[in-house]
Chain A
């Protein structure tokens, strides 16, 4: 059996319920959101360790704020990670399942390592006082665990890109390795390109933090200015490092791909360069420039995620796999269910977020009565519609009683 035959034979017999390009878009979008919070988490832990060790009143305050933020970022990173995990299995299932099965114990260990990281983050935050987080050892443990988890998921991703190596890795003589203990691929440039943005995004996070609390009486102006300046510098220097690592990675990609000419790459890299140039000027007033910096940073992540996806398509295309010729089993009903819920979710979510922002910025909520009623009613309406649909279908199919 040839590799291309294997890959196409392993595609799921059910096909995909909607056009692959839509799954690809949601894969990239949700991955970008996920990785943004991963960056906030990882970079935030690094800065909080530094600030905890520095141990000035301002740095301890910052460390505590970052420790609290880490627990929230961890939860958001994890939940946002569910969606790309889902969509990658829809359109790249032969690659995903093969790589994970080959390294099964590592896939399991990934979760255990994350549990250690998240537990240590919580202990670091909760074990301290009002003015400082707990012992920095907990944050160091969290950092090491997060790096280990990143290394595992990175290796699993690279394994997926090298299907021509799979047999070499698994078969030795007359033996097929079914132990699931091997981890077979690691690329430093790609790994560092995944890790370095964490520092840059932690810088953006600090700028946003200073911007958000700017004007509050209980936040000292000098403290916020110091934090924002630190953030802008971190973002700038880490982005410079990121560009250098990106070039290193680019030259390691097989020349036959001509990836340096790929339009997705060019747009993504252009946005990264624009971010760097903006930061150079934004440093003069990092508090004021924080929202624009955050917007450009997210666009850079999003576009680079698309470039990453374009690279994956190039790799998989070389072995005869194309997501766009996946068997289509169109299912409009469930597609509408998701898209409708997605839009509804954004509306509902906007209400508690608006309240939280108002309270954090002004110390009290404003009048949001209309949105409040809508956000509270929409989940009930969703339930009534779906339950009604369910009853009708169950009666039609004779499955209710």
Chain B
């Protein structure tokens, strides 16, 4: 096991959650924006309205800075956060999908080259050439979504990959298409909202209102189709995920889904009223407020998607605590359940020599080390923990002694969303002793 990074109060997962949620905004804007951009540019040429090109310049600069500074940084940030918070899971994804990511990287390069050239050659090349560069960007950006969606969907539904180990079997899995379609629609929704904000500062009223109306239609269509395809996604989710997210297995997940729907509905209403019907109402302040609402909606939606994966971080293959849960014969991978059942401590490299053998004096210290690896990805230990604090959980359950906790650990396999404890009886007692010591504080 790699060294464990223990983040008090929140767990290390909070870093992934924050960075990944933020990243959705610039990444979806980067993928969706240029379809609208080339649409407006075409309109400007067709109707001979150079004023509309003012919007193109504003909108592109915003995309450049927001997506290719903060979007790129947070994209890399997700990798870094996963590296330090869940190294074995990101390693597993990379070793199976490295060529997928590398393929996506080629399109990243295309995006960045074309967007700078698009921005700096406006009015300097023929309209046809300029639009062609815009089209190359639009396709490249959307293709980057086509690729990353496969890897994200694989984490929820690995399907026949478990049997075949095949790249494409895992990639084109049962939730791939619904996720691709709903993300594609959502990217147009986000692009529409950004376009409204960007266009609200335009000086020519007719151009301003026309762009805002068009952006609203794109945005609302994105929201509506996003909703339809999201319903398809919910239908296509694995049964276990449905049990957790839709049938009340974990009630808070359903609440997150409701929160996402409410947020999207609010944004839809804003686009309808302050975009399509009364574009003069659109402004930067309200627009940015709506962006925050959309951000919360996305956060809730992504939280739902992440939450229903439990107990796995990679569907059927790897538990949330980074332990391999299943054989993959095609890749000669063996489940680690059997390997760890008789002793987990021997598989941790970073253990002080004095803690290699469990004694009554050191059992809490050993228990802490094992608990970090088996529980610490999702749970905090101290009473002040905000992220599924085990001390709070056991207090609510009335289990405060070492024996109570050890008994609960025996029963963990009965919980659909929890990985089993893997280790010897002695190690389990050590973990229970450590957790019980946290109760007494």
Q: Which A residues are within 8 Å of any B CB, using their own CB?
A: 1, 3, 6, 9-10, 12-18, 23, 26, 72, 74-76, 78-83, 85-87, 89-90, 93, 96-98, 100-102, 104, 107-108, 110-111, 114-115, 118-119, 122, 166-167, 170-171, 173-176, 178-180, 327, 329, 331, 333-335, 337-338, 341-342, 344-345, 348-349, 351-353, 355-356, 359, 364-365, 368, 372, 375-376, 379-380, 382-383, 386-387, 389-390, 393-394, 397, 399-400
A6 touches B331 (CB 8 A): no
Contact of A100 among B7, B74, B76, B83 (CB under 8 A): B83
Contact A178 B372 (CB under 8 A): yes
Q: Are B168 and A383 in contact (CB under 8 A)?
A: no
Number of A-B contacts (CB under 8 A): 276
Closest to A365 in B: B125
In the assembled complex, which residues on chain B have CB atoms less than 8 Å from the CB atom of A166?
3, 350
15 residue pairs bridging A and B, Cβ less than 8 Å apart: A13-B334, A14-B328, A17-B96, A104-B5, A111-B74, A118-B73, A178-B4, A178-B372, A329-B332, A333-B168, A334-B168, A349-B109, A365-B125, A379-B136, A397-B159
Least CB distance from B226 to A in Å reads: 20
* Binary flags per residue of B343-355, CB closer than 8 Å to A gives 1, else 0: 0001111111011
Cβ–Cβ contact A14 & B129, under 8 A: no
Since A379-B136, A393-B168 are in contact, a sample of 8 more A-B pairs with Cβ atoms closer than 8 Å, ordered by chain A residue number, is A85-B76, A107-B83, A108-B84, A375-B132, A379-B140, A387-B146, A390-B176, A390-B177
Which residue of B3, B124, B139, B369 is within 8 Å of A102 (Cβ)?
Answer: B3
The chain A residue with its CB closest to the CB of B70 is A115
CB of B108 within 8 A of CB of A394, answer no
In the complex the two chains form, what is the Cα distance from A329 to B165 in whole Å? 9
A399: which B residues are within 8 A, CB to CB? Answer: 157, 159-160, 172-174, 176
Looking at B111-119, B243-251, B276-284, B409-417, the stretch in contact with chain A turns out to be B111-119
> Which residues from A are CB-within-8-Å of B75?
82
Tell me whether B73 and A114 are in contact (CB under 8 A). Answer: yes
Residues of A within 8 A of B3 (CB): 98, 101-102, 166, 170, 176, 178
Interface of A is mostly: helix
Contacts of B167 in A (CB 8 A): 17, 331, 333-334
Residue of A nearest to B366 (CB): A174
* B228 contacts A by Cβ under 8 Å: no
Q: Point out the residues of chain B lying under 8 angstroms from A179, CB to CB.
A: 5-6
The 9 A-B residue pairs with the shortest CB-CB distance, nearest first, are: A379-B139, A104-B84, A97-B87, A334-B99, A345-B106, A178-B6, A399-B174, A104-B5, A14-B95
Question: Once the chains bind, are A352 and B113 in contact (CB under 8 Å)?
Answer: yes
Name the distance in Å between B287's Cβ and chain A's nearest Cβ: 21
A171 to B354, CA, bound (A): 11
Kindly state the separation between the CA atoms of A175 and B372 in the bound complex, as whole angstroms. Answer: 13
Contacts of B177 in A (CB 8 A): 390, 394, 400
**Given A6-B349, A86-B101 in contact, is the A14-B5 Cβ separation under 8 Å?**
no
Contact indicator A365/B129 (Cβ below 8 Å): yes
Question: Residue A90 contacts which of B69, B94, B349 (CB distance < 8 angstroms)?
Answer: B94
Contacts of B114 in A (CB 8 A): 352
* Distance A368 CA – B133 CA, assembled complex (angstroms): 13
Does B92 reach chain A (CB closer than 8 Å)? Answer: yes
Q: How far is the CA of A114 from the CA of B334 in the complex (A)?
A: 40
A74-B69, A79-B72, A79-B108 as given contacts; A176 in contact with B15, CB under 8 Å: no
Q: Which residues of A contact B392 (CB under 8 A)?
A: none
Q: Nearest Cβ distance between residue B32 and chain A, in whole angstroms?
A: 16
Of the candidates A3, A72, A180, the one whose C-beta lies within 8 Å of that of B5 is A180
Chain B residues in 8 Å Cβ range of A74: 69
Interface string of B364-382 (1 = CB under 8 A from A): 0100010010000000000
Q: Does B286 lie at the interface of the complex (its beta carbon under 8 Å from any beta carbon of A)?
A: no
Contacts of B7 in A (CB 8 A): 180
In the complex, per-residue mask of B325-365: 1 if CB is within 8 Å of any chain A CB, else 0: 00010111110000000000011111110110000001001
CB distance from B29 to the nearest CB of A (A): 15
B110 touches A348 (CB 8 A): yes
A170/B125 in contact, CB under 8 A: no
Nearest A residue to B331, CB-CB: A329
- Which chain A residue shows the least CB distance to B138? A379
Q: Judging by beta carbons under 8 Å apart, are B110 and A176 in contact?
A: no
User: A359 touches which one: B121, B168, B347 (CB < 8 A)?
Assistant: B121
How distant is B33 from chain A, measured CB to nearest CB, in Å?
A: 16
One digit per residue, 1 when the CB lies within 8 angstroms of any chain A CB and 0 when it does not, for chain B 64-94 equals 0100111011111101110111011011101
